[in-house]
Amino acid sequence: MTGNESRTQAIYEITNREPIEAKAPKKLEDIWASNVFSLSKMQATLPKDVFKSLKETIKTGKKLDPSVADTVAGAMRDWAISKGAMYYAHVFYPLTGGTAEKHDGFISPQSDGGVISEFSGKLLIQGEPDGSSFPNGGIRDTFEARGYTGWDVTSPAYILENEMGATLCIPTVFVSWTGEALDKKTPLLRSIAVVDKAANRVLKLLGNTDVAPVNSSCGAEQEYFLVDANFANARPDLLLAGRTLFGKAPAKGQQFDDHYFGAIPPRVQAYMHDIETRLYKLGIPAKTSHNEVAPGQFEIAPVFESANVASDHQQQIMTTLRDAAVDHGFMCLLHEKPFAGINGSGKHVNWSIGNSTQGNLLDPGDTPEENLQFLAFCGAVIRGVHLFGPLMRAVIATASNDHRLGANEAPPAIMSVYLGSQLEDIFNQIKEGKLVGSSHKGVMHLGVDVLPPLSKDAGDRNRTSPFAFTGNRFEFRAVGSSQSVSGPLIALNTMMADSLSWIADQLEAKVGSGSSPEETGNAVQAILKDIMDKHGVAVFGGNGYSDEWHKEAVEQRGLLNIPTTADALPYLKESSVVELFKTTGVLSPTELESRFEVYAEQYILSIEVEAKLVVDIAKTLIYPAVMRHLGEAAGTVANLSDIGVSVDKTPVEKVAGLAKSLLDGANELDSAIAKHDFGSTEEHMDYCAGTIRDMMNSIREAADTLEGEIADDLWPLPTYEEMLFIK
């Protein structure tokens, strides 16, 4: 098929789709967590003492008693086999941001020719995948390829089904044989432990006697695009890079704002229901699904869970979105910017910390100005954002997210924190040295409750901030849609742990044991004033998209605007960041360095893949189509002149000129990609961010103009109109 034939065929396939077969509605209670080896299933199948010991570990992070492993493994195997599983897999989360699985059979052949299913505690606790094929940033040489997976008891095992069978999946960490973290889960677990320890100190210093372990929570809103597979499969760029590298803007985009929260097309609705059923079986609390701003863009958000489980579940959500799309004849695009000129996709990471005794520590209550405990935790966040803004930028830095950040639809590449007018006012009063009360509700003194409960959230909405307080949590809005949430959560938890430890040190120095609540209150206010004096510049409530902010942030406030991944990743090597991870023990300097290496390499590789695609598509799809058009047009012009009909040659000349730019550009880019003699990884990244991307952009400009000039029946790629509007 050439040119428009494949597009016509795709449209035919889509409009003649068999209607989706209605399925009998399922009861939530019947399917909920049916494929999860949950606490209740453990309780039902394990001896009392084993269950108690395991539950202790899950709930409080207490060290796992290895002697229980055999019993747990046996119960897990029996349950899995009863669900039809013949295999098990250690699931881990390598630095690529994806999910990896090492599959094994339960099968154990016997000497009498028979076979039994075997799964011991040893196999449950530890596995040894061939680690050499996962990026490790130089931690291991390939000749020392040993990598171990280790059971993470705090994230439940589950069964993954497909038509051909079922597999018991066991969430694990992935470490090298020298004990270094090769994955995203190990440091996440460490960061959860350090924030617990630091928060506990502060809570006790504030006078709480009963303090349960503090955990961090995460609720991640996932945006995605759906494109019919008939179109997507005809676009090499979507297949290999997940985004369109070419494509003229459609006449109608999102300017009518008619897609946001609009009616969901029935075919998409069926897909969403299917997703929800699959997720419910896995015990993943998917709650909201709706249309997003751009045509063809949607969102799914689960209810928040503890950070570690939420992170594993987020990976499963991404896998499920992609897999189910295939069954529904779609391709699900998780890329941050699949279509130029149209909103991109983010993953808002809603984050809070809390425990079972003091509750959500970021909940301001009705009178935040009196809630010292809340103010202390909120102050810790402000300090963290200011000190470690560049780290926050670095953990959301990917080649794909760069297209979205700083564009007109997504948070800027400058890290600041939005508190909402009421809280911002309270913190400004603290800075002035006197907290007189909430500005909206008249004058009052700390500790005297004369105010009626507030009916509005302390945090208003601000869609332009990368990191916004939204009532009882912070929303990290700059995270990219295709990313693992672990990196951002690790950064937030670790920054928070550092700030809380700092606050605890200050408090210890200021107030001894047996000091009065008033003395403690004054000490906290003094500490918060200090935080605002030093770090208040990171608090910003205005329009983060505006040019004025970009100027003010950099010139007056000394905040950093870090536009690209090439600029951001080197901050992972900054001494303050190295020190932060080292002192907290979340990442050793070697582990951090390896992350820089891996992420930098991924950045370079993804731009190289895109650049190669640009060359291929320009030369083998677009240029030939343009030449066909020119052949036809030039022939007609010549024929008409032959018979004395005057005809305008300029369109032909214009197309010929553009065709030359396209081809020249593609050839130049082809040679540019071949350059590999760089002095450093940083230099190579800069080259990709600048030279290569610029060349890609100018080739695209020529191609997109050509798309508007040549005969539509010759255009070889499904168009933006088709992909965005035909469902």
Among residues 7, 347, 473, 595, the one that binds ligand ADP under rule CB under 6 A: 473
User: Half-sphere exposure of residue 359, counting CA atoms within 13 Å on the CB side?
Assistant: 8
Among residues 231, 304, 374, 623, the one that binds ligand ADP under rule CB under 6 A: 304
Does 221 participate in binding ligand ADP (rule CB under 6 A)? yes
- Token readout for 627 is 């030449």
Determine whether 251 is exposed, middle or buried from the number of CB atoms within 10 Å of its CB (0-12, 13-18, 19+). Answer: exposed
**Per-residue CA distances from 308 to 243, 493, 516, 724 (Å):** 30, 12, 38, 35
Closer CB to ligand ADP, 154 or 594, in the complex: 154
Does 217 participate in binding ligand ADP (rule CB under 6 A)? yes
Q: Which 8-state DSSP code applies to residue 692?
A: I
Closer CB to ligand ADP, 217 or 429, in the complex: 217
Q: Among residues 219, 229, 225, which one has the least CA distance to residue 292?
A: 225
- Token readout for 55 is 């539950």
| DSSP 3-state of 20 | coil
- Token readout for 24 is 């009998």
The CA angle 424-427-430, to the nearest 5 degrees, is: 155
> Which does residue 303 bind out of Mg ion, ligand ADP, none, counting CB within 5 to 8 angstroms by kind?
ligand ADP
Closer CB to Mg ion, 313 or 693, in the complex: 313
Q: Among residues 576, 599, 615, which one has the least CA distance to residue 696?
A: 615
Among residues 230, 350, 398, 584, the one that binds ligand ADP under rule CB under 6 A: 350
Closer CB to Mg ion, 337 or 348, in the complex: 348
Position closest to Mg ion via CB: 348
Does 261 participate in binding ligand ADP (rule CB under 6 A)? no
Does 486 participate in binding ligand ADP (rule CB under 6 A)? no
Minimum Å gap between C-beta 181 and ligand ADP is 25
| β-bridge pairing 165-176 and 85-92 | parallel
Does 303 participate in binding ligand ADP (rule CB under 6 A)? yes
Q: Tell me which stretch binds ligand ADP (CB under 6 A): 74-82, 300-308, 404-412, 552-560.
A: 300-308
**Per-residue CA distances from 479 to 220, 331, 715 (Å):** 10, 22, 35
Dist. CA 301–CA 288, nearest whole Å: 5
CB 362 within 8 A of CB 353: yes
Q: Among residues 569, 537, 561, 550, which one has the least CA distance to residue 391?
A: 569
> Which does residue 561 bind out of ligand ADP, Mg ion, none, counting CB within 5 to 8 angstroms by kind?
none
Q: Among residues 522, 496, 59, 34, which one has the least CA distance to residue 308?
A: 59
HEC profile of 247-288: CCCCCCCCCCCCCCCCCCCHHHHHHHHHHHHHHHHCCCCEEE
How distant is the alpha carbon of residue 691 from its chain centre? 27
Among residues 222, 320, 343, 472, the one that binds ligand ADP under rule CB under 6 A: 472
Among residues 96, 306, 360, 698, the one that binds ligand ADP under rule CB under 6 A: 360
Q: Tell me which stretch binds Mg ion (CB under 5 A): 192-200, 214-222, 322-330, 422-430.
A: 214-222
Does 288 participate in binding ligand ADP (rule CB under 6 A)? yes
Closer CB to Mg ion, 155 or 472, in the complex: 472
Does 465 participate in binding ligand ADP (rule CB under 6 A)? no
CB 81 within 8 A of CB 117: yes
Does 667 participate in binding ligand ADP (rule CB under 6 A)? no
Minimum Å gap between C-beta 221 and Mg ion is 5
Question: Residue with structure tokens 């597009």?
Answer: 7
Among residues 140, 185, 335, 348, the one that binds Mg ion under rule CB under 5 A: 348
Does 356 participate in binding ligand ADP (rule CB under 6 A)? no
Dist. CA 163–CA 165, nearest whole Å: 6
Does 272 participate in binding ligand ADP (rule CB under 6 A)? no
Does 219 participate in binding ligand ADP (rule CB under 6 A)? yes
Minimum Å gap between C-beta 384 and Mg ion is 20
Does 347 participate in binding Mg ion (rule CB under 5 A)? no
Position closest to ligand ADP via CB: 219
Minimum Å gap between C-beta 221 and ligand ADP is 5
Does 473 participate in binding Mg ion (rule CB under 5 A)? no
91: left (phi over 0), alpha (psi -120 to 50) or beta: beta
Minimum Å gap between C-beta 256 and ligand ADP is 21
Q: Tell me which stretch binds ligand ADP (CB under 6 A): 206-214, 237-245, 346-354, 423-431.
A: 346-354
Residues in contact with ligand ADP, total (CB under 6 A)? 16
Q: Tell me which stretch binds ligand ADP (CB under 6 A): 50-58, 215-223, 383-391, 627-635.
A: 215-223
- Token readout for 138 is 């130089």
Minimum Å gap between C-beta 293 and Mg ion is 12
HEC profile of 209-262: CCCCCCEEEEEEEEEEEEEEHHHHCCCHHHHHHCCCCCCCCCCCCCCCCCCCCC
Q: Which 8-state DSSP code applies to residue 727?
A: -
Among residues 72, 100, 199, 301, the one that binds ligand ADP under rule CB under 6 A: 301
**Per-residue CA distances from 91 to 88, 153, 202 (Å):** 9, 13, 36
Closer CB to Mg ion, 223 or 363, in the complex: 223
Dist. CA 18–CA 367, nearest whole Å: 57
Does 462 participate in binding ligand ADP (rule CB under 6 A)? no
Minimum Å gap between C-beta 468 and Mg ion is 9
Q: Footprint of Mg ion on this chain (CB under 5 A)? A: 221, 348
Task: Give the residues lining the site for ligand ADP (CB under 6 A).
Answer: 217-219, 221, 288, 301-304, 348, 350-352, 360, 472-473
